[in-house]
Structure 1
């Protein structure tokens, strides 16, 4: 990796760390953050690590009015040998730049961003928790800062990385969750921003989540925005189904986010010679497989929860209980393998781990 000039200003007032065995998700933040600015004609400049602090923006900043912002999510893990590991961080930076291109945000030097991330974690390494099931959540994000009320791409941006020690995303952990099939609202459409990780996608999903939560469901299963027939994602995760021995996941179509965990699961299954295909799959096909007794497993995949088994789908007034509401063998094997690679307890034949010095 290149040698980048990243300035460092250390805090003079360190925070009290939370108890690592009582962590929730995304409520505590470390002492420092990485910052870099963009100015039209100058490019990305002034990479630095400074004390964690509030952001000051003009009320007319474009991000507030037109939502020109993108983000990522990844994790760092502390091993039993006190090493700190990242999982495929290069893929997150590549995806962040793909999101940038969709939102007309200038792309950044991915090596520089990774160098800044590693330096930030090294400075705040005491915040990486050492309790089983915990990790350091990493949130890189970029937003438009130019004060302008015209509908146009900003001429200035800011790139930040903040860190948060976290426990499990779902309180259920690896235990199966109940999911409601969403039939009114849609998450995204082909040609829209569904394959970019941008804030508006998540704001638009909240209403369906509120309705599902009130009905006792952890998340919603999104159908396509055109026919409301084909399965796309589950909550903010990619989704997999095991039907009659074959694992199926919706093919990337322009409205589905290309998950790094999704990609890793497919590569793992191929490595194990377990049949896995990417194709369109309808909710009707899932229902028929359930009726025929060949819907064997279903699970979501994502950075926050890694693997989230689905124990029940609620669709058109019917409860489809999958695998007796228990975690399936494939779900468990994938979860154990991925978390083992991430935390350094299992071999990494793919070279996915990146050590933070």
Structure 2
């Protein structure tokens, strides 16, 4: 891909410990512009810095905005890998279509990430469980007050070195089941990775934290009784010998990790069922001891074991609030593929050369 490179005179000192998540950012970022007459143009890798926007910039008023999240890994073989980036690219394309935003081709999406990662390869941390988080995003930058589809957009990619999500091992979390507020409904933007979905979920998250819970399990927006997803993660439940998860029908994010975990589960010999599961059915399985394991799946944590569910005054403890054998096996297998310590028979690793 052809692009302009604007060199930075003085580079930052790279952090060596306590990376956390999203606290530090690399020296450079990728940026390109879109206009109706030119399409995507002005491709650049420039020093990371502030974006100047006019007060009338449309994204500030009408929220035409989408983003993605993936990681770059320094493999144990010394090579640099992305994990299934074309799946992120496809989801980004679908998100933009729903938000009436221009398409970024899968090739352009992945190439922009690869070129930036190559420039910033020395920023990829090499500690256990550490990686380089990649945030591509796009927004309407037309200067206009009027509710209409914008005519110009900006696409950027920024990078952030992140620490191990579980520095002391994979630990269970406590989940609050939300039945008052709604995050997504059929026909809406629940399947889109856009800021508005996360903004809508904050009130439930705030409520959960106030009650001493880590995350929110959202129910469907119409009946408020069918299990959907956990905040920023897809949710899965091992009931008896079957793993149950919500179907992808427009209200749940089609997660890259979700799809990968489902593939592993089937290879491990587990039955996987995508269905609308009533919250009462889930709680009953928990009371009867048939809910053997539960976990969330997402890019940041890979797997988040669920140790407790709280719904309408009732608490259900899952697997004695311990990380289950299956959960740990899934985590070890997927991270092994990502960091190239395990064979990648699925061809999920994409080398950055």
Q: Which residue of 2 aligns with 1:323?
A: 319
Provide closer, same or farther for how the CA distance between residues 173 and 231 of structure 1 changes in structure 2, counting only shifts above 3 A: farther
TM-score (norm 2): 0.98
1:14 corresponds to which of 7, 11, 14: 11
**Contact 2:234/2:296, CA 8 A, preserved across alignment:** yes
2:249 corresponds to which of 243, 253, 266: 253
Q: How far apart are residue 171 of structure 1 and its match?
A: 7.4
Q: Which residue of 2 aligns with 1:234?
A: 230
Q: Which residue of 1 aligns with 2:163?
A: 167
TM-score (norm 1): 0.97
Inter-partner Cα distance in structure 2 for 1:173 and 1:72: 26
Q: How far apart are residue 172 of structure 1 and its match?
A: 7.5
**Contact 2:129/2:165, CA 8 A, preserved across alignment:** no
Is residue 2:175 matched to residue 1:179?
yes
Q: Which residue of 2 aligns with 1:151?
A: 147
2:94 corresponds to which of 94, 98, 102: 98
Inter-partner Cα distance in structure 1 for 2:274 and 2:242: 11
Inter-partner Cα distance in structure 1 for 2:135 and 2:349: 18
Q: Which residue of 2 aligns with 1:265?
A: 261
**Contact 2:204/2:216, CA 8 A, preserved across alignment:** yes
Runs of 4+ in 1 over 2 A off after TM superposition: 168-173
> Where does the alignment leave 5 or more consecutive residues of structure 1 unmatched?
none
Q: Which residue of 1 aligns with 2:216?
A: 220
Q: Which residue of 2 aligns with 1:113?
A: 109
Q: How far apart are residue 325 of structure 1 and its match?
A: 0.3
> What per-residue deviation string (whole Å, max 9, x for no partner) do you get for residues 19-73 of structure 1?
1x31110010000011111001211112211111110111101100010000000
Provide closer, same or farther for how the CA distance between residues 356 and 194 of structure 1 changes in structure 2, counting only shifts above 3 A: same
Inter-partner Cα distance in structure 1 for 2:154 and 2:299: 24
**Contact 2:89/2:105, CA 8 A, preserved across alignment:** no
Q: How far apart are residue 76 of structure 1 and its match?
A: 0.7
RMSD (Å) for aligned C-alpha atoms: 1.2
Inter-partner Cα distance in structure 1 for 2:56 and 2:309: 44
Inter-partner Cα distance in structure 1 for 2:108 and 2:70: 17
Q: How far apart are residue 113 of structure 1 and its match?
A: 2.1
